[in-house]
Amino acid sequence: MTTLRRSWVATANSAETPFPLNNLPYGVFSVSGSDRRCGVAIGDQVLDLAALEAAGILTFGTPFIQSWNAFMAMGRPAWTDLRTRLTALLAADSVDRDRVEPHLITQKGTDLHLPIAVSEFTDFYAGRHHALNVGTMFRGAENALPPNWLHIPIGYNGRASSVLVSGTNVRRPWGQLKGPNDDAPRFGPSARFDIELEMGAIVGTPSDGPITVREADANIFGYVLLNDWSARDIQAWEYQPLGPFQAKATATSISPWIVTAEALKPFRCHTPAREVELLDHLKDDGPMLFDIDLEVTLAPKGREASTIARTNYNEMYYSAAQQLAHHTTSGCAMRTGDLLGSGTISGPEKQNRGSLLEMSWGGKEPITLDTGETRSFIEDGDTLTLKGSARGDGYTIGFGDCTGTLLPALDDPYARDA
């Protein structure tokens, strides 16, 4: 296990900061309405890469503005080169401090934006505990997993336009609803709005045609926390036979900083033991998951937050590399900026469940918050926050919080004046 790399940025040398020199995550920021620029988090500061490029300190031939897509498209050699050069510029023994320090900005003085232009969004259903819990609720324990689940990572194509950066409010959606005792469907606001605790993998290197698991792993630029907000009552009525649609189209929130695959390298771990041998094109090729502790908190409006779940990314049955490789088997081209959601990450115990659907067992067992209030699903004004960190020897690799507050539904969007 690597140890803390020391920086001349003093706040980067704490064991608790999420942004030590070992991390160097990538984001997009602005200051007081300025243009959006690419930045790197170091301690409590943001290093302005657009300014470094303009000053000739970095020379990558990209302006480092708006998003990381142009840089990601340059490929892995450029990714490695930038990380190496940034590490040297920010290291405690750097000879370039005087040139670099003027381009640091305090994080508290910045606005953070989506770090990439999302090309496409695909969400998976690849957490075994989540799939077992949901399947047991709706089909019974003996039929919990669909017949194909142990053979392929199941997924669906989502909406890139619905992807939001952390801190963006989410509006309770309307949709067509039909309960088990209803004679006919009706149109109304979702009453069973939920979260899904996930990780998101960002494709950096495009591909055209099938690729191997090893190639897929090399094509992933980095990872973010991801909350796939879900309207469970809309989903229950619409999902057969083609799966989720409008239930998942309201919003998908991601954390503002992309933690690179290279920064997470010390935390690689293997997927769980296989119950059924995978076909050759999906077989594991070394440790391709990561040991990342995950947490969910819920704060009612004006009240303190309660931790409602803790789990780990190592609970996934399929890695992001296997998901990406499977996605390409049909010849599907993958683009720079494609985002892959892992699927809900739950663990074996009740406190490890990554969605309120599971925590409350479909609303039958409401959870109690530290404030004494109870929840089966999200109520208006609730703020949900996802946190993630990997712990090294004297340092922490963090992602920045992935947070969103639920606003009340609009008045009937289809009501017409008489």
**What letter represents residue 29's amino acid?**
F
Query: Is the pLDDT at 417 greater than 70, yes or no?
Result: no
| Dihedral pair phi/psi, residue 161, rounded to 5° | -70, -15
* Residue that finishes a domain, picked among 85, 113, 141: 113
If asked whether residues 81 and 161 sit together in one domain, one would say no
Of all residues in the chain, the percent with pLDDT exceeding 90 is 94
323 vs 305: CA distance, rounded Å: 33
Residue 370 domain flag: no
Angle at 263 between CA 329 and CA 11, to 5 degrees: 150
pLDDT of residue 399: 98
List the CATH number of the domain containing 316.
Answer: 3.90.850.10
Torsion angle, alpha carbons of 49, 54, 56, 59, to 10: 60
Same domain, 157 and 108: no
Task: For residue 87, give both structure tokens.
Answer: 């590490």
Tens-place pLDDT, residues 227-237: 999 999 999 99
Residue ranges in 154-222 assigned as alpha helix (H): 213-219
> Total domain count for the chain?
2
Does 2 score more than 90 pLDDT?
Answer: no
197 and 332 fall within a common domain = yes
Asked whether residue 133 falls in the same domain as residue 103, the answer is no
User: Is residue 177 domain-shared with residue 276, that is, in the same domain?
Assistant: yes
Query: Is 385 inside any structural domain?
Result: no
Cα(15)–Cα(177) distance, integer angstroms = 49
State the burial class of residue 300 (Cβ atoms within 10 Å of its Cβ: 0-12, 13-18, 19+): middle
- Band of pLDDT at residue 1, cut at 50, 70 and 90: low
pLDDT above 90 for 416: no
Residue 140 lies in a domain: yes
Burial class (CB in 10 A: 0-12, 13-18, 19+), 171: middle
d(CA 209, CA 199): 25
Query: Domain residues for 101?
Result: 10-113
Domain membership flag for residue 404: no
Does residue 265 share a domain with residue 209? yes
Q: pTM for this one?
A: 0.97
**Which residues are the active-site residues?**
130
Residues 259 and 129 in one domain: yes
Tell me: do 130 and 37 sit in the same domain.
no
Residue where a domain stops, chosen among 113, 136, 153? 113
| Amino acid identity, position 368 | T
Supply the pLDDT for residue 127: 96
Q: How far apart are CA 334 and CA 205, in angstroms?
A: 8
Please provide the size of the chain in residues.
418
Contact 337, 72 (CB under 8 A): yes
388 in any annotated domain: no
C-alpha 380: how far from chain center: 23
Within 191-329, where are the H helices?
A: 213-219, 232-238, 320-327
386 lies in some domain: no
Beta bridge partners of 368: 374
Give the closest residue to 245 by CA, choosing from 256, 231, 259. 231
Closest-CA residue to 334 (of 118, 19, 13): 118
The CATH number assigned to the domain holding 77 equals 2.30.30.230
Residue type, 387: K
- What percent of the chain is predicted at pLDDT more than 70? 99
Q: Are 345 and 337 in contact (CB under 8 A)?
A: no
Q: Is residue 230 a part of any domain in this protein?
A: yes
Among residues 129, 171, 135, the alpha carbon closest in space to that of 346 is found at 129
Q: Which residues of 179-217 are buried (b: 16+ CB within 10 A; e: fewer)?
A: eeeeeeeeeebbbbbbbbbbbbbbbbbbbeebbbbebbb
Q: Residue 416's CB: how many other CB atoms inside 10 A?
A: 5
Q: Round to whole Å and give the CA distance between 364 and 318.
A: 30
Which tokens go with 290?
A: 């990561």
**Cβ(52)–Cβ(182) below 8 Å:** no
Give the domain-ending residue among 113, 139, 154.
Answer: 113
Contact 212, 281 (CB under 8 A): yes
Q: In angstroms, what CA-CA distances link 99 with 95, 102, 109, 253?
A: 9, 7, 21, 36
Q: Is 199 helix (H, G, I), strand (E, B) or coil?
A: strand
- Both 335 and 203 in a single domain? yes
Is a pLDDT exceeding 70 seen at residue 418? no
Q: Is residue 379 part of a domain?
A: no
Are 210 and 285 in a shared domain? yes
d(CA 296, CA 388) in angstroms, rounded, equals 9
- In the predicted structure, residue 92 carries a pLDDT above the cut 70: yes
> Is 63 found in the same domain as 135?
no
- What does the pLDDT average to over 326-354? 97
For residues 271 and 280, give the distance between their C-alpha atoms in angstroms, rounded to a whole number: 16
Considering the domain architecture, whether residues 99 and 223 belong to the same structural domain is answered as no
| Host H or E run for residue 133 | helix 128-139
Task: Give yes or no for residue 321 having a pLDDT over 60.
Answer: yes
Q: What is the pLDDT of residues 278-303, one digit of tens each?
A: 999 999 999 999 999 999 999 999 99
DSSP state of 250: S
DSSP H stretches of helix in 195-293:
213-219, 232-238
